[in-house]
Chain A
Amino acid sequence: MDALQYLENFLQSLVAGLLMGAMYGLMCVGLTIIFGVMRVINFAQGEFMMLGMYFAYFCFAWFGTYAFFGGLWFPFFLALLAGPAVFLVGVLLHRLLINAVTGRRGNKLEAQGHYAQLVLTLGVALVLQNGGLFLFGSSPVSVANELSYSAWEWGPVVGDRVSVFVNQAQTISALLALVVVIGFAMLMNKSRLGKSLRASADNPDAAIYMGINVDRAHRLAFGFGVGITAIGGGLLASNAPFQPYIGTEYVIIMYAGVVLGGLGSIRGAFLGGLSIGVLQQVSAIILPNQLQNTVIFICFLIIILFRPQGFFGNKDRTA
């Protein structure tokens, strides 16, 4: 391979990384909002992503043929719809389970109480992924359509040989991810609801003094968090096949992004997810495929051990 070919590979990976990274970034935003507001590490976040994927898959299988938008655009619409659907699941789950061990109640639990929410979400993850196996089956499925296999050619960029192929489905997904993130950031920054969630995150006691129902704020934050990650899952679903266990590897990818960006910051989480996407794709040029995720995990360990506050953390604008 000559230098130009390396360049082409690199550009190709970079573009793919940015597109994948935008989707990871979206999922990271979902995770970080839960941590930011509730100080809860949600182990089951990957499983909510999985739920978003299967939501898109089943809706597509059932209604795909009648789709108003036609088969091409319908998967993306369903991905967005996965948000509200999983939001409801999250709100329900928070009311039934999570609420019992977080916030002020969690503080009352003795000794291990500190970890009660961590272990509880681990239990939820186990039930969801294994229950998923029962409900959805173990064979990989996908919501791929023509767009998933089509690409725009960009170039030639350098000389007459180096051109980059941009996957169409990924591009649409990445743009949608960006729109959702910006929309959500505006909700958090501009609306009264968003401000009250941030106030609850900053100081739950003081938020109560203001008349904010902190339990409700937590419930909404949990719903938003899992809903947003589910949209990310729905968008990824048109990309690659998946099965019910897919959550486990993605939960680390998400945490890597979130920790990279500084726990609790929306902007940081998105940039962190974006960086992880790029890292994953670019490392694939020199490393074997199986080690892609290992690179991410090792990266994650290095970040968390040496710079746990992250790199993109914008201390003053946390949510």
Chain B
Amino acid sequence: MSSVRKDFLHIGLFGLVYMILALLVGNSYYLLIMTIVPVWAVMGLSWNLFSGYSGLVSFGHAAFFGLGAYLVALCMVVWDLNPWLTIMLATAVGGLSALLVGIPTFRLRGHYFALAMLAYPLALLYIFEWLGYQEVALPMKREMPVLYMQFENPVAYIALALALLLAALGITSILSHSRFGMSLLAIKLDEDAAEAAGINTLYWKLIAITISGALAGAAGGFYAVVLLVVTPLAVFGMLVSAQALIFAMFGGVGTLWGPVLGAFILVPLSELLYARYAADFPGIQGVIYGVAIIAVILFAPEGILWKVRSILKPGQFRMLGSTASITDLEADESLLAVSQSGAGEKILEVAGVSKAFGGLQATDQLSFAVKSGELLGIIGPNGAGKTTLFNLLNGFIKPDKGEITFQGQSLMKKRPNKICAMGIARTFQVAKPFTHLSVLDNVVIGAYVHTRSKEEASRHASAAIKLVGLENQCDLPGANLTNKELRLMELARALASLPKLILVDEILAGLDPDAMQEMLLVLEKVRKLGITIVIIEHSMQAMVKLVDRFIVLDHGALLAEGRPEEIVKNPQVIEAYLGKKWLEND
């Protein structure tokens, strides 16, 4: 049974049990709580769908919630529009406003992003106060109660809230098991590596925040119907955004059921305590939420679902993602092959490229070309500008001067994911595995560049894994690999994107001689597929026998260029490497 179908079964069962419970409860206050809880669970899921999966923390979900709530309330007051229609509208407005918020705000990362998100709902709060909507009450519609969602039986509200929650759960389940979920997880685990692996990080973040905003808008709209009164503080206030975040983080970040669990524990707890102690302790709800989130951060930073799991299955590493298994071990390595037709022609050309960081000239007027099908070694001592060169080639940084072209196309204005899609893949000096994904999922992410189909991606990934010889490790999490395996996995991830040119950054560093030999054999196999390889190395050992040609960098400039046997005898090169004293001694 597929994971999604299993989720749907659970979701269905959950809905059934909840409905039966609702029918058994008689107390109208409890019934109200049973209506509110799913609404907040939807908010938790909304936050989770964006922040939980992408790792970008939003403190501004109240903006989408509040717009939804005011839309439903005002449409009913002003135009007599019914909530059935306007909640749908609120969903659309929530999504649209989230998209509009996302477009500028995704320029920011980390702390700046979180801070900027905080400002949107607060700005809206004051605008709605100024507009005179301090308190919008929904009018009573006695003649057509059902049309205006004003039911006599409180269970009807619960049914609607539950329907909303089940829909949110279904959407989360489907998305999290798709390419969407994988892409967002990759962004969360390492945004740079994700971008370099061909994931259009901006695109996926925008999709995520739009769907997330839509859910929040729907929740806000329904909230207005249930509570019948909308005030700026109640819907745009800090507490709304905080609650969404707290439910998801308390229950379990990046999980289907975590936000639901969080809302189901914390909302009744705070409501019941509030009902009992509000007179003596008016802020008790906020204190409970505050204490809950502090406790979670200190004792179970990923939420109680993950904590429970780690207690039940100690020692087991926490895995995210689809954890698919290799579908096609017969996958043919030739899937990865590149046509040899243009062999020997210029594939990549670097012309007069300079890049400075502060006072440091990392790359200085560098010009060279790479021929299709060759294996080019770029060597030089530490600090010679080798990794900067790769960052320039794959688009992480843009040169101050100069021009880079790949197969006749300029790379100057292209984002890393686009460059990856054009056929330049890379590995990193300090390996960037997606730690909580399996080796297979790590590689599958690379394979999504050229295909939308999960099966095809999985086939390419399998072929790449087979080529580097990690078949037996493919279910291990990225975090549990040895140095050698990590580097092989990065190579596989790069290969899975079907590159024409692959940039390999110090893949031999820190390997013992046996592992080095193994790595060289793998590189030899890659070369046989017709893939052009540019490899950075600190030391020339082993490389001498492997490469067709060397480029030697020193202080960001070209020191020497030529065949391996010439380079090792070049006095300038020896001096740069071993020092002047070495030459004196000889």
Contacts and interface: CB of A to CB of B under 8 A. Distances in A.
B126 A126 contact: no
B417 interface: no
A101 interface: yes
Contacts of B565: none
A127 B295 CA distance: 12
Interface in B107-138: 107-108, 110-112, 114-116, 118-120, 122-123, 126-127, 129-130
Nearest to B295: A123
A278 to B, nearest CB: 19
Contacts of A131: 283, 287
> On chain B, which size bracket covers the interface?
35 or more
Contacts of B245: 119, 122
B176 interface: no
Interface stretch (A147-155, A210-218, A219-227, A300-308): A300-308
Interface in A234-259: 244, 248-249, 252, 255, 259
Given A119-B293, A291-B130, A112 B249 contact: yes
Contacts of B436: 110-111
Given A305-B105, A305-B108, A110 B302 contact: yes
B294 A304 contact: no
B287 A127 contact: yes
A172 interface: no
A285 to B, nearest CB: 16
Interface string B265-289: 0000000000000001111111101
A305 B112 CA distance: 9
A297 interface: yes
B116 A122 contact: no
B290 A97 contact: no
Contacts of A124: 290, 294
A203 interface: no
Contacts of B59: 122
Contact of A297 (B112, B122, B282): B122
B119 A301 contact: yes
Contact of A290 (B122, B126, B297): B126
Interface in A114-135: 114-116, 118-120, 122-134
> On chain A, which size bracket covers the interface?
35 or more
B469 interface: no
A138 interface: yes
Contacts of B122: 248-249, 252, 293, 297
B25 interface: no
A229 to B, nearest CB: 16
B518 to A, nearest CB: 30
A315 to B, nearest CB: 10
A193 interface: no
B188 interface: yes
B82 to A, nearest CB: 31
Given A119-B293, A134-B282, A290-B126, 15 more contacts: A111-B189, A119-B297, A122-B290, A123-B293, A126-B287, A126-B290, A127-B287, A130-B284, A130-B287, A133-B286, A244-B283, A252-B119, A291-B130, A304-B116, A305-B104
Interface of A: 41, 97, 100-101, 109-116, 118-120, 122-134, 138, 244, 248-249, 252, 255, 259, 288, 290-291, 293-294, 297-298, 300-301, 304-305, 308
What 3 A-B pairs are tightest by C-beta distance, nearest first? A130-B283, A130-B286, A126-B290
16 contacts: A41-B115, A97-B298, A101-B301, A110-B435, A120-B294, A123-B292, A126-B290, A129-B283, A134-B287, A252-B122, A255-B115, A255-B118, A288-B130, A291-B127, A297-B123, A305-B104
